[in-house]
Amino acid sequence: MSEPSAGRGTLYVVATPIGNLGDLTPRAAEVLRRVRAVAAEDTRRTLQLFAHLGAPAPQLLALPAFDERGRLGPVLARLAAGEEVALCTDAGTPGVSDPGQQLVAAAWEAGARVVPLPGPCAAVTALVASGLPSDRFFVQGFLPRKGGGRAEALALLRQLPATLVIYEAGNRTPETLSDLAAALGDRPAAVARELTKLHEELARGTLRELAERFAAGARGEVTLVVAGAAQGTPAEEPAPEPLEDALRRRMAAGEAPSAIAREVAKARGLKRADVYAALERLKGR
């Protein structure tokens, strides 16, 4: 592989294992051993990867999700100097619900070469194992945790004629499965837990069946795969969740009563005062 010319460095976008370290490709290992710097979501996790390779770590440049744009400078400076830099996130393919997209875009704008090194991706791994249609799919990543943002995201997903792929933490999996069933209808789905790891688990069923199966939570990292809306026909109108059940669920999630009253009233065409009164009754029980 030829060395990059001065002023036109190369950014390697390196997919890393999502669990089993044996899934690191030989090409990715060769690039990681050769580059002088690695932009890493978490430098501690990337150090573990180099320990597995039995190779000394190069200069590690932190690129955390909460401040990706603010950390681009040192990486872009190396690329401008003609260096090779690898981009790694904690697990899987950078930019897919992980940092990386902003760096890749900035590298293009700076005139650097961008070279993708394909490999593990939890979304694709769960999708192909689910048995649900894979000709058209939409990777949502993590849903907003609560409030109007979550309701808006679920409303969008309900209309999409594509298989849906959603990331979730194990302890929030039961609530998300229930919310999906309430918003989308009781669609076929799959839960993929701890993919490629020792306790890997794959389960299929309808959303409500899976919500019941994992009612106590699902330990570890979870990827949900859900059938999309039927193409060419209106999406099935899910049965509305009983008002008191919706209020209890949102109170249990720690939402502020004022926010619950405002959003539920708007969504159901009710008076905010009536919803707030219902909340007060439930709190008194």
**Domain at 116, CATH number:** 3.40.1010.10
Decide if 231 is inside a domain: no
pLDDT mean across residues, the chain: 91
- Other Cβ atoms closer than 10 A to 265: 16
What is the band of 261 on the pLDDT scale with cuts at 50, 70, 90? Answer: confident
Radius of gyration of the chain, Cα coordinates, nearest whole angstrom: 22
What is the band of 140 on the pLDDT scale with cuts at 50, 70, 90? Answer: very high
- Other Cβ atoms closer than 10 A to 14: 28
Decide if 234 is inside a domain: no
Last residue of a domain, one of 75, 91, 120: 120
Q: What is the separation of C-alpha 108 from the centre of its chain, rounded to a whole number of angstroms? A: 24
Measured between alpha carbons, how far is 131 from 80 in angstroms, rounded to an integer?
Answer: 45
What is the band of 1 on the pLDDT scale with cuts at 50, 70, 90? Answer: very low
- Residue (of 40, 49, 48, 44) closest to 71 by Cα position: 40
Tell me the per-residue pLDDT of 93-133, one tens digit each, with 9 for 90 and over.
999 999 999 999 999 999 999 999 999 999 999 999 999 99
What is the band of 2 on the pLDDT scale with cuts at 50, 70, 90? Answer: very low
- Other Cβ atoms closer than 10 A to 190: 22
Last residue of a domain, one of 69, 92, 120: 120
With contact defined as beta carbons under 8 Å apart, do 202 and 135 qualify?
no
With contact defined as beta carbons under 8 Å apart, do 94 and 15 qualify?
yes
With contact defined as beta carbons under 8 Å apart, do 190 and 253 qualify?
no
Task: Indicate the helix (H) or strand (E) that contains 3.
Answer: none
What residue numbers bound the domain in which 249 lies? Answer: 243-283
Range scoring the smallest mean pLDDT among 56-70, 120-134, 230-244, 259-273: 230-244
Same domain, 84 and 177: no
Tell me the per-residue pLDDT of 5-49, one tens digit each, with 9 for 90 and over.
445 899 999 999 999 999 999 999 999 999 999 999 999 999 999
Decide if 60 is inside a domain: yes
Decide if 81 is inside a domain: yes
pLDDT higher than 50, residue 186: yes
pLDDT higher than 60, residue 145: yes
With contact defined as beta carbons under 8 Å apart, do 190 and 117 qualify?
no
Total domain count for the chain? 3
Measured between alpha carbons, how far is 270 from 127 in angstroms, rounded to an integer?
Answer: 39
